[in-house]
Structure 1
Amino acid sequence: MPNLSYTTLDVFTSTRFEGNPLAVITGAEALDTGTMQKIAAEFGYSEITFVLPPKNPANTAHVRIFTPTMEVPFAGHPNVGTAYFIGQQSEIFGKPVGDRLRFEEAAGIVDVDLRRSNGQVTAATIRAPKPLQTGATIPEADIARCIAIRPDQIATALHRPLFVSVGLEFAVAELDSLEALAAAVPNPALFREAAGNRSENNHDFSLFLYVRSKENPWHLRARMFAPLDNVAEDPATGSASAALSAYLVSRAPGTDGQQRVTIEQGVEMGRRSIIEVDVTKTGGTVAGVRISGSCVFVMRGEILA
């Protein structure tokens, strides 16, 4: 294995040591999947990415995303952070870097727009690669047991807990107060039991909890637990935010158009993140989901051969 360069960023924030950490690794063309997985486990971040030459030269890069335990087909903060990283380069794989990027991923093509100010990238916006998909509902008692709260602290007026996805599946549940959200504590054994009760097996059982602001129902506070991926809690989860936002907009009455959803996450961890999701609805159906965020660089270094 050659020496590999890595850069770390904090994603969905403009303040260092907040947001969600990400490692972006380049020069890994010779690595096999097993070695990539070991590197992801060594970093211990919720995800890391490997930026590889595109299979189709019309695209910008082939991006592989790993949690500490598995490769995933799509995720939000790795795409935003990787796009921000690439946007700082003058060229990649022999081509100049513009303001629009295309990433090849297991979930499909991920389109990216870069926002610049005075020539510098300030934020990245990605489009979810898959349409909104909804899965089975989940008993409130099962959710409550997983996070050690009472079943009556789960709000069900808008929807029951269920699985949603725009490229990566999550269980989502609304809680009735910020106090209930703060009190949630994941129990890995019960998460494992919940995962074992499922017929699907694409991402074990990752749970995204949220509370709607009383002043603005499109401003949410959230927490995400994925102990089966060795991620006790994730400070910012773009793919879950996108799936939840798409689902909430799909159920909202009113005319078609674009709805901005702002999700604040990571507060309880001391790593506040702000995720902006724009959902477009046409003919009563969600037609597109875009996830935006800022980033800040933290470290650069080498993984030794």
Structure 2
Amino acid sequence: MPPRPFQQVDVFVSGPLTGNPVAVVFDADDLGDDQMRTFAQWTNLSETTFVCTPQDPAADYFLRIFTPGGELPFAGHPTLGSAHAWLAAGGVPKGEKVVQECGVGLVNIRRDGEALAFAAPPLIRSGEVDASDLDVVRAALDLRPSDVIAASWVDNGPGWIGLLLASGQQVLDIEPDFAALGDRMVGLIGPYLGDTGPDDHPDYEVRGFAPGIGVPEDPVTGSLNAGLACWLRAQKIAPATYVAAQGAALGRAGRVLVSDDNTDIWVGGRSVTVIAGEVDL
């Protein structure tokens, strides 16, 4: 097989090397599942994507998304990073927005100045978390019942459980027991009040744990932030527009921009191509 165009894109950046990288492989129609899975394991990134010919005529491309542990129907930072790479490689959308086809269907991506943003897909599971699951999650995160302000399923494909804590600093202080979490995918969010938090004053701190798919802690997570936004906006807890910080616990400084236009919730941020070339699979 000939070498294929390749980019590695840093997503949700606030500066150089501050976001979450995604590996993007183009011209992937003839790659098999095992080849995709093996390369995703080799990159050892949170996600690796493969850009294919769309099946839906409304889509600009079809995207397959792999973690080191397997394939996902949807993920946020790979969506934005792959759209950035596709545009940088000369891709021209059929309409005003880039339309990605993936496991959850069609996802719209719009340009917001220097940033790209995707329309949050609807939750496929929401509402109350079973008491038994919540007990396991709290124990794995060393949280008392009173530490959790609210909890909900915020599953838009990967299977996230969301927990709202009292503050961003409390989110940062968590030291998870990944073995105890098992296959559960858990996201935390806590507000920054007043002058607390980083110097650029984000509104929330977020962390995402997914040890069951080979990503103990994800640096910056688009799908989780989208699910959290759908939950917190529906409960009128979060404002229509806010900025979430994520990645500080891993030495990153990701920034996720959330806005609700009363039709869609848009989740976006800046992306930068760090590596461009070819990959021989």
TM-score (norm: length of structure 1)? 0.81
- The aligned counterpart of 1:284 is none
Alignment of 1:208-287 (within 5 A): 208-215=187-194, 219-252=203-236, 259-281=240-262, 287=263
Supply the distance in 2 between the matched residues of 1:303 and 1:146 (Cα, whole angstroms).
39
The DSSP-based 3-state class of the residue aligned with 1:228 is: helix
Task: Identify which of 99, 106, 110 aligns with 2:107.
Answer: 110
Over 3 Å counting, the alpha-carbon distance change for 1:162 and 1:35 in structure 2 is same
Secondary structure of the residue aligned to 1:137 is: coil
Match of 2:98 among 66, 86, 101: 101
Matches within 5 A, 1:36-185: 36-91=36-91, 100-116=97-113, 122-131=114-123, 133-139=125-131, 140-147=134-141, 149-152=142-145, 154-156=147-149, 159=150, 161-185=151-175
CA RMSD, aligned part only? Answer: 2.5
Match for residue 196 of structure 1? Answer: none
Gaps of 5+ in 2: 196-201
Aligned-pair distance for 1:142? 2.1
Secondary structure, counterpart of 1:277 in structure 2: strand
Decide whether aligned partners of structure 1 residues 15 and 206 sit closer, same or farther in structure 2, where only a CA change above 3 A counts.
same
Structure 1 unaligned segments of length 5 or more: list them: 117-121, 193-203, 282-286
Tell me by how many angstroms 1:113 deviates: 1.3
Q: 1:8 to 1:99 in 2, by over 3 A?
A: farther
Q: Note the C-alpha offset of 1:141.
A: 3.4
Partner amino acid for 2:103?
A
Size of the aligned set, in residue pairs, is 274
Cα pair distance change 1:102/1:265, threshold 3 Å: same
Is 1:206 aligned to residue 185 of structure 2? yes
Between the aligned residues of both structures, percent identity stands at 29
**One-letter amino acid matched to 1:205:** R
Question: Cα gap change, 1:253/1:55 in structure 2, threshold over 3 Å: closer, same or farther?
Answer: closer
Q: CA deviation at 1:275?
A: 0.5
TM-score, scaled relative to structure 2: 0.88
